[in-house]
Structure 1
């Protein structure tokens, strides 16, 4: 069996994830396609991940493609997590993941409505959704608060988990809006405030072409392998949230080929992708919390030393801002209250690496400008650096 070394895997990150300066992209759409999907749970991550890989980093270019061209699309998809993908990729992600996530969101909301015992049911939900869509058609876009003011039903409160320890009273507005967004009937528009804000406005969304589920899962697996291969079944299972059977069927349909890792584990690559990528020039990167290059695999041992995990991850397994050198995570970074980027190395990487990291920190500070960045999921090292 052909072996692909850990060093070659790190080379592939530099090239295929557009992190070496010579391979940086011209557009945010090209960035999203290179890594398949950008994590979007934290609004700032989309911009930081994209701009780290752009020849000319600027938030305005990302905003243009998210909100004006709509060539970048937010979807609740893999692992029930919010991602940004290109519009071309969106139908494949919808069929392979997002459609099932949306169906589960609807079932959960209906269950909570009916458990409340106040006569709320599917008919009530359909009427409420119709009113929300009508309000958006009249306004063009609106925040959740503005929609609640326009649609009285959204101000309804329900008791979830009645009679149980976790019983709580909640409003339905955010849940109804979440279901409509998950189904692709509405989408996030420009937020209130800057690009770091998560207080989005909402607007109507156009339907996209439908894809057959098995074909879509094979297509997603193939594109993921081009970006993240070699990778194991467990890596793909973790990244997609699929079951083992779905993973194996998708790999087989995609024509994935077996290879061996340095660890001796069996992994997979895209068809005819067992060759060696040439190493790019030395590169450094400051990547944000939840960046795809850090979150792309279940087993990150080939680019992250185990002793660094405690400083860089929160208790739920979310990685914070990371410093990279030639395909390895070697430290973390943060932005202080005065806007100054600060970083700390967790490994001795030498003078050349330190100089390159300093240059990347300066590049980050230049395009971020006056924006203030606080990750949604804060890690021990990030908290220390901003204390």
Structure 2
């Protein structure tokens, strides 16, 4: 059985994730493909993740790919998380992890409709609500905001406390319709750092009705791309990342003829056959440094993270497991970054680095400061290291 060291994994990360000099890419679509998907829970993450990997990419370039060219598309999928997908991977999502989320959301809405006393037949109520919403959107190709959908469909214009301190509104039905692939987050009515979408039918946004893959086919394709981007990874990594089951992961690995390898620390990882047959590591990518945003897919790509986080897991993640900003040197996280009141990016180290590495990080901070041009990135999340004074 081939052994893959942590050093080789870090070299793979540098190249496959388009982070090392000479391996960055030129378009937002190429960034998304390099990473399989981008996290989009925070709108700014999509643009900042693209900045870190794309040579000369501007915020306008990323927004154009999302809203004009539509070569990349936002889709709720794995772990009920919003991601940006390349268009040709959407069918796999709709048939696999997104369909799983849609079923779970439907069951939860039906239960809450009954519990809140809205209708004793939650299934029938939800079916009527969905139909009315889809009919309204069918007549509005340019899409509607969530508020406009509520106004157009009075039966969903409700806000009900199901349990103390927890309420739900019509937005949950839009979420369910989005997970099922029937509607999409279309044109953004706010800036690149906000999420204020017009909801639109998928056929209006993409020019065709969704055609989900079969579930096994969908999961297999997503696992294949994950292994190319993040491999080698363990079963536990994949189960967590997909928000799925071990049976689903094992089926996909078997159908892909994935090859088991040993990892430092004694764990078993998996690679695609072509990767496993390559001798040695992918070569030395050279020294590199990167500043990655909150919830960047590199830091969130695995469940087992010691090989790149070292002792820094606790200061870099909030209590819900959301990663804050991270500062990287040669495939390891060494700190985080923040902005001061004027928008200047500052690196906060959690360990000592060489003078050369510090200069590289400072250069990245200056480059990001110039790119943001005084704009301070808003965030709902913040790690202990980011909040520390």
TM over 0.5: yes
In terms of mean alpha carbon deviation, does 242-251 or 120-129 score higher? 120-129
In structure 2, relative to structure 1, the CA distance for the partners of 1:77 and 1:171 (3 Å cut) is closer
> How far, CA to CA, are the matches of 1:93 and 1:151 in structure 2?
28
What is residue 163 of structure 1 aligned with on the other side? none
What is residue 158 of structure 2 aligned with on the other side? 156
- Contact kept, 8 Å, 1:288 with 1:322, in 2: the verdict is yes
- SS of 1:142's equivalent in the other structure is coil
What do the CA deviations read for 1:292-313 (whole angstroms, capped 9, x no partner)? 110111111111112x222211
> How far, CA to CA, are the matches of 1:336 and 1:197 in structure 2?
20
What is residue 359 of structure 2 aligned with on the other side? 355
Measured after TM superposition, the shift of residue 64 of structure 1 is 1.0
Which of 258, 262, 278 lines up with 1:260 in the alignment?
262
> How far, CA to CA, are the matches of 2:168 and 2:235 in structure 1?
40
In structure 2, relative to structure 1, the CA distance for the partners of 1:171 and 1:273 (3 Å cut) is closer
What do the CA deviations read for 1:119-140 (whole angstroms, capped 9, x no partner)? 2633333333333233334442
- Structure 2 spans left out of the alignment, 5+ residues: 204-208
- Contact kept, 8 Å, 1:155 with 1:171, in 2: the verdict is no
- SS of 1:88's equivalent in the other structure is helix
When the two chains are superposed, the root-mean-square deviation of aligned CA atoms in Å is 1.7
**1:305 lines up with 2:306 in the alignment:** no
What is residue 88 of structure 2 aligned with on the other side? 88
> How far, CA to CA, are the matches of 1:132 and 1:209 in structure 2?
20
Taking the TM superposition and a 5 Å limit, the aligned residue runs for 1:1-387 are 1-119=1-119, 121-139=122-140, 140-160=142-162, 166-167=163-164, 170-206=167-203, 207-274=209-276, 275=278, 276-306=281-311, 308-384=312-388
In terms of mean alpha carbon deviation, does 148-157 or 279-288 score higher? 148-157
Question: With structure 2 as the length reference, what TM-score do the two structures score?
Answer: 0.92
> How far, CA to CA, are the matches of 2:153 and 2:188 in structure 1?
21
- Contact kept, 8 Å, 1:196 with 1:371, in 2: the verdict is no
In terms of mean alpha carbon deviation, does 73-82 or 284-293 score higher? 73-82
In structure 2, relative to structure 1, the CA distance for the partners of 1:60 and 1:221 (3 Å cut) is same
Measured after TM superposition, the shift of residue 384 of structure 1 is 2.5
Q: How many residues align?
A: 379
> How far, CA to CA, are the matches of 1:315 and 1:367 in structure 2?
30
- SS of 2:346's equivalent in the other structure is strand
> How far, CA to CA, are the matches of 2:316 and 2:252 in structure 1?
32
Query: Which runs of 4 or more aligned residues in structure 1 lie more than 4 Å from their structure 2 counterparts after TM superposition?
Result: none
Question: With structure 1 as the length reference, what TM-score do the two structures score?
Answer: 0.93
- Contact kept, 8 Å, 1:157 with 1:169, in 2: the verdict is no
- Contact kept, 8 Å, 1:57 with 1:367, in 2: the verdict is no
- Contact kept, 8 Å, 1:11 with 1:327, in 2: the verdict is yes
What do the CA deviations read for 1:73-92 (whole angstroms, capped 9, x no partner)? 21211112111110011111
> How far, CA to CA, are the matches of 1:118 and 1:384 in structure 2?
46
In terms of mean alpha carbon deviation, does 344-353 or 143-152 score higher? 143-152
- SS of 1:13's equivalent in the other structure is helix
- SS of 1:202's equivalent in the other structure is strand
What do the CA deviations read for 1:4-58 (whole angstroms, capped 9, x no partner)? 1100100001000000121111111111111111111111111111111001121
- Contact kept, 8 Å, 1:154 with 1:171, in 2: the verdict is no
- Structure 1 spans left out of the alignment, 5+ residues: 161-165
- Contact kept, 8 Å, 2:338 with 2:348, in 1: the verdict is no
